[in-house]
Structure 1
């Protein structure tokens, strides 16, 4: 009998069939493996181990006879595919056919929660597609435990390209190990590069207008007091002319456990105090603690409560929506916000669209130790699994080689693969590739920036940059620098995200200014399944009350006690057992 996971998925399936069927899914083209025209040699109805045919040697060798592979395909609503192309038949899938003689056949296509339900249906019916993306380590754990996915160790060792292996090795074991069980590689993990720190973005045009001095020592860091003084000056002088200025506005959830999700959060302020909310760490004695419940985080809440009382923090903290805070920025009511390096590309560009004079500079809030305190993200993001019994488990490795080695490193993309190059130039979404995950070197962010900086400075020709994206960014930045007042928001965005956002990361890295800490757990324990939602609600509501002064700061200690009594202590015990 299979474990509880399958029973849970059966329950999900029973509810899902009320809105879905195996033949269709809410605006997607969902198909059954047995549909007419499918090559049944790859159908998962054959539960026994299948013997694969010989492939040509090497990581990029094509199959002598056409191989069909069924896919579980995670989509998005607007992939920008050209007319006539589909997720199943597009430039990327045709590229795989040309290079490997392998043809995709989608078992199901869906996005968001619909995709998760389709994965649940496939697992509950024990009818997995040959290759499928799954979103979490928890699902991988259950698939491995129930012997449903292929051991990829031999395929990876034999067919993984040198560069693909370099990618995983660059994470010092933090990535590939999440897919390794008893020494066996059971999936290809997507990578998640560190995008720290939680940068504080400040309106540079307002700083100039008011004659303020910021980061006088030029180390890219500002103190908490400097941040407060800038916010106070913006409020008193109202350089945006809004007549209703706001100092600093923060999201009511306050922090995130991934820098990519820390926009509008106080994560950078907490880190400056040595606090790392919503993350799990190990003490020197081996015991585990929760980062939200530390004295350092209590100090963070105390500071925010003081700022709220003084009016530095948004008086509507706790009730503002994401859109509300975005409007404050776009309307010129606030000139300070927090976010990852690339928020100029998709958020701060709204400010520029409203005000052609808008310019930003990014900093990190400096810790008392004189460092930028930062945590490592979860190194893996999503997993590619292969159905146990599929003839060609090495195909997953070979496809990864093509996209994350050959396409990523070629300098002649436009010449060699013009159709793929046009997709990238036209902004066709990456979900149209066979694998909707990213597999990049840990250093890829700074590697790309090095190319961009050299190209912008004229030290290399644009065509010598490693990637098409970098070549496009170089041209955007050059156009912006030639005419900063131009109407083009995209050029403004690329300049700010790369030459401000990533440049700060590059500077702090080279100067040894980062103080890294390592969370020890990213999964879900048994007690979390029943108690975590309530514990998160307790945390969020208590912290809002503390910041807004509804309860005193010392109620933090009562919160910690309640958190432990309501399941937190048991969760810690389970994590300690898990990581031994």
Structure 2
């Protein structure tokens, strides 16, 4: 289930594609005949013309091109006669580009795919293009195995993907750049996915006449009241306080029940590499501030303010869905899951989100996630590196619901509705792009339309659909959960992200060092077990000091040295 939750966290912010989800800059046209706003002066393309901008980005290649890739096999069941390599999606994208994608190899699942990529690198037997992670990208660059895509991206990149990369303030492309050369085209994650908000049963809060939470003390009082004062009114002492997860924290992109926000309020950032007050790079889980956070959580657990069973649930969302708790942490998209199930089981449930608890200075402090973690790369010597760029152009345009070929898009949508097949699982590459500020922009645009400040007819299809769902939910509250999910996710979670000032802390390193490859799993296990045992009282808070000493001895000091060298470019 945890893997499923993680996948949900990574994909829900783009999941509205099935029902509409574009975000950001939605009024810009990506019609292949209109996108010449990039004033590029390329030296021409394969057909010898001098087109530029989107005219060139979406133009078919003059001659057929074959692009071999490594492909991750999805669970989807295609119609009889279709294959992973030849199906309704692949045929559509080939028709648009004149680029035929063939599979050098296929792998089922993330682990198997990663192993295949590692083998391809180790044997120097790369397909023409493949998706790699940060560590694999570094190996490929160090061994001069992949093409510099700088010129191909500049010449053939569509306005859409360039606009998306621009929303990251240059961070996405910089992450794939070495010595001034662009070695991969990265995915782009949603910035909104990183903060962990406090979700509360507002109806319980109102019933007990408690104020909205701000401080750690406020949170403690609410948890105590939810445990002791029968907030659900059933006459039984069967409600619990704050929920948790046995992982304790997620560290980057959270799921339900992580304690990340508690650690952030103490300026502790476990699972992230940060700089201390002296400017030294340290592993965030080993700083003294973690001890303060753990002491507070242990105190709450001992006093019954944290669900005593939190580490024992088979699926972390169980008490939320069963409405036994009215208090937990999670990202903005919680109305999709698990809150939709909570409301289905109890239509009185009224969930609200808060940026809390605040730190001692009244600020909401949160870790952030890497803006990118996957890259499409092209093997050194491949004659048509622009083919990978052109493919990224067309399936990103489709994914972001800006494809002007409405009849063909409808065929794809109808096929998906009929078969349950997710078209995105058959894109040439597993590389989704969305505007990094998509959630905030979409929320702001919808609110302006509701106030009559923007004509919703000018919205891109995705923002328009969020707007329609929001109106539908206002007219018939909780009658259609398909409308309730996006309406509440944006109305509640999106509102916090748009309006609440946040102090955002980024990790300075997201990769893997040499020593990490052999010792990180052991160190992670030590960390999770120690933190969890301190919270539930199996170890004293002082055990944190022992953990730090052991972590350093078991390889942490060497890893810290390697991370420092990597960050400083040595």
Normalized against structure 1, the TM-score is what? 0.82
> 1:484 Cα shift?
1.0
Aligned pairs for 1:406-417 within 5 A: 408=400, 410=402, 414=406, 417=409
What's the counterpart of residue 442 of structure 2?
Answer: 448
Aligned pairs for 1:179-194 within 5 A: 179-194=176-191
Give the SS at the match of 2:191.
coil
What's the counterpart of residue 249 of structure 2?
Answer: 255
Alignment size in residue pairs: 512
What's the counterpart of residue 494 of structure 1?
Answer: 486
What's the counterpart of residue 318 of structure 2?
Answer: 327
Contact 1:55-1:61 within 8 A present in 2 as well? no
The alpha-carbon distance between structure 1 residues 85 and 500, as it changes in their structure 2 partners (threshold 3 A), is: farther
> 1:236 Cα shift?
1.2
1:174 aligns with 2:168: no
1:353 aligns with 2:347: no
1:149 aligns with 2:142: no
Give the SS at the match of 2:493.
helix
Runs of 5+ unmatched residues, structure 1: 1-51, 216-221
> 1:422 Cα shift?
4.4
Residues 256-298 of structure 1, C-alpha deviations (whole Å, 9 max, x = no match): 2213x34210001111111111100123544211111122211
Q: 1:566 aligns with which of 551, 554, 557?
A: 554
Q: 2:470 aligns with which of 473, 477, 494?
A: 477
Residues 56-114 of structure 1, C-alpha deviations (whole Å, 9 max, x = no match): 54222211122221222224323x75666544334443332232221222223333323
Q: Distance in 1 between matches of 2:82 and 2:202?
A: 44
1:122 aligns with 2:114: no
Runs of 5+ unmatched residues, structure 2: 1-44
1:289 aligns with 2:282: yes
Higher RCO, 1 or 2 (CA under 8 Å, sep at least 6)?
Answer: 2
Q: Distance in 1 between matches of 2:83 and 2:457?
A: 31
> 1:430 Cα shift?
2.2
What's the counterpart of residue 4 of structure 1?
Answer: none
Residues 401-455 of structure 1, C-alpha deviations (whole Å, 9 max, x = no match): 2233576373856467433454687873522222212222322222222333344
The alpha-carbon distance between structure 1 residues 476 and 87, as it changes in their structure 2 partners (threshold 3 A), is: farther
What's the counterpart of residue 436 of structure 1?
Answer: 430
Q: Distance in 2 between matches of 1:529 and 1:112?
A: 17
Which region of structure 1 is more displaced relative to structure 2, 101-110 or 449-458? 449-458
> 1:573 Cα shift?
0.9
Q: Distance in 2 between matches of 1:302 and 1:170?
A: 39
Aligned pairs for 1:100-249 within 5 A: 100-109=97-106, 110-134=108-132, 136-195=133-192, 196-214=194-212, 222-240=214-232, 241=234, 243-249=237-243
> 1:456 Cα shift?
4.4
What's the counterpart of residue 270 of structure 1?
Answer: 263
Q: Distance in 2 between matches of 1:143 and 1:525?
A: 15
Aligned pairs for 1:499-538 within 5 A: 499-508=491-500, 513-538=501-526
Q: Distance in 1 between matches of 2:188 and 2:416?
A: 20
> RMSD of the alignment, in Å?
2.5
What's the counterpart of residue 404 of structure 1?
Answer: 396
Contact 1:71-1:131 within 8 A present in 2 as well? yes
Q: Distance in 2 between matches of 1:407 and 1:313?
A: 41
Normalized against structure 2, the TM-score is what? 0.83
Which region of structure 1 is more displaced relative to structure 2, 292-301 or 443-452? 443-452
